[in-house]
Chain A
Amino acid sequence: MSTALTEQFERGLAAPICLTWELTYACNLACVHCLSSSGRRDPRELTTAECESVIDTLRRMQVFYVNVGGGEPTVRPDFWHLVDYATTRGVGVKFSTNGVRIDADAAARLAASDYIDVQISLDGATEPVNDAVRGAGSYRTARRAMDHLAAAGFRGFKLSVVVTRHNVSQLDEFLALADAYRAQLRLTRLRPSGRGADAWPDLHPTARQQRSLYDWLCAHGERVLTGDSFFHLSGYGQPLPGLNLCGAGRVVCLIDPVGDVYACPFAIHESFLAGSVRADGGFAAVWRDSPLFASLREPSGGGACRSCGCYDSCRGGCMAAKFFTGLPLDGPDPECVRGLGEHAMAMAGPVPRPAADHSRRAVPVTITRRPCDESPVPRAL
């Protein structure tokens, strides 16, 4: 991407390119690294009518597609209605799911539309590695959903993997798995957000693993999606493909299940709360007028990283990763390729806690079996 265009993106766009909308905090799983601390539905979640109103706004703003997540979005009783409502109005839907509701019928329906894309979350190429993070049975649930999608002829769905210390050695296996399903591999960075803050010390890749991840991405970059989430590794050398900058409030933002708008999906904290879709003017006014977003669209001086030779490549890394590890936002990323983040973390102050915790019980140390076919969402919405 040209520098001129990158600068345009830093100043913000008329509408987000990449809007994440978490439809519910309800989830049948309890992944140890859940970025939104999901589990139980929040009674204040947007109603069906409110969701339709948000979709109408997105259509007027010409948002091409929305990345729907959760929680597990498909457990919302009006999920399929909302997908239809969006896609018939030209707002594409990419949704992330653990696969629990992707049966043969759902797969056939999904395969029939150009306006729908599906991301199946899988955090291990093998059952033990995956289930240690996502819970017992989750690997088989995901594979069953992938089987259904492939059988329905859905080409190019996404196999979405959060790279951890325990699966970073399985990248070739993930790629082979995606190829076998005619799917596309998507790798994203583990963030210390939500329950991920507790899991991060044990799950985030070691410095050596980060280097091998970077080399792997350089070798396979054109075939693998990354959500541009590894730009902090560009400090190793050649920039990784994509948008090497923090998109928070510029090209990215989050609508959470209760309608609050945050600068990015990994920053559910009052410091990054820009407004609510329920306020006058709705989402469009938040995107356009939020003082927080205006400040994020100002040029950043680079702070403590300004004099570093890597800054032009890594741009200081991920705002959310810094924030939830207690690091200053204008300093190095906790996974700074020069090791400056580790040094800073040794001096860091108290770590902020996320704004909301919808975990269904105390954060599990070990994952216990949970039924996958039971909706935690009450039938009456």
Chain B
Amino acid sequence: MACAVSTSASVLADDAFDLDRPWRLDERVAIRPEPFGALLYHYGTRRLSFLKNRRMLAVVTTLAAQPSARAACTEAGVPDADLPVYARALAVLASSNMISERGVV
């Protein structure tokens, strides 16, 4: 409906996500909290993405302040058993350039 919603979740990353590297949200990404989690919009790629819960939102918003994605997950209260699920979600965000490794040009 007059609405270009790109579901970048369908673009699955082939590469495993490295939880032990430092990551950050792309500076061209805006986040809007929603009852179910959050919406992300990238002004460069003009793609929309979804965070499916508030904990994932907390992970993404603390990424840049933490030494690694794993530390961001810990800070956000992600149980160890759920780490693979969060790593997959972060991999999807990385594949659509919503997040990127810090210090990598």
Binding site for B on A (CB under 8 A): 1-2, 4-5, 8, 11, 13-15, 17-18, 20, 62, 64-65, 67, 90, 92, 114-115, 117, 156, 186, 188, 225-229, 231, 241-243, 245-248, 251-252, 264-266, 318
Residues of chain A contacted by B43 (CB below 8 angstroms): 64-65, 92, 114-115
**Smallest CB–CB gap between B49 and chain A, Å?**
11
CA distance A245 to B1 in the complex (A): 8
Main secondary structure of the interface of A (DSSP, over half): loop
In which size bucket is the chain B interface?
A: 20 to 34
**Smallest CB–CB gap between B31 and chain A, Å?**
8
CA distance A65 to B34 in the complex (A): 16
B29-58 vs A, CB cutoff 8 Å, 1 = contact: the mask equals 010111110010101101010101000000
Decide: A1 and B3 in contact? CB cutoff 8 A.
Answer: no
Q: With A92-B43, A114-B44, A115-B43 in contact, is A64–B30 under 8 Å at CB?
A: yes
**Smallest CB–CB gap between A11 and chain B, Å?**
8
Q: Closest chain A residue to B33 by CB distance?
A: A14
Q: With A65-B41, A114-B28 in contact, is A17–B2 under 8 Å at CB?
A: no
Q: Closest chain A residue to B46 by CB distance?
A: A117
Q: With A5-B52, A17-B39, A117-B46 in contact, is A229–B30 under 8 Å at CB?
A: no
Decide: A62 and B32 in contact? CB cutoff 8 A.
Answer: yes
CA distance A252 to B10 in the complex (A): 22
Decide: B50 and A5 in contact? CB cutoff 8 A.
Answer: yes
Residues of chain B contacted by A227 (CB below 8 angstroms): 1-4
CA distance A2 to B92 in the complex (A): 15
Decide: B1 and A229 in contact? CB cutoff 8 A.
Answer: yes
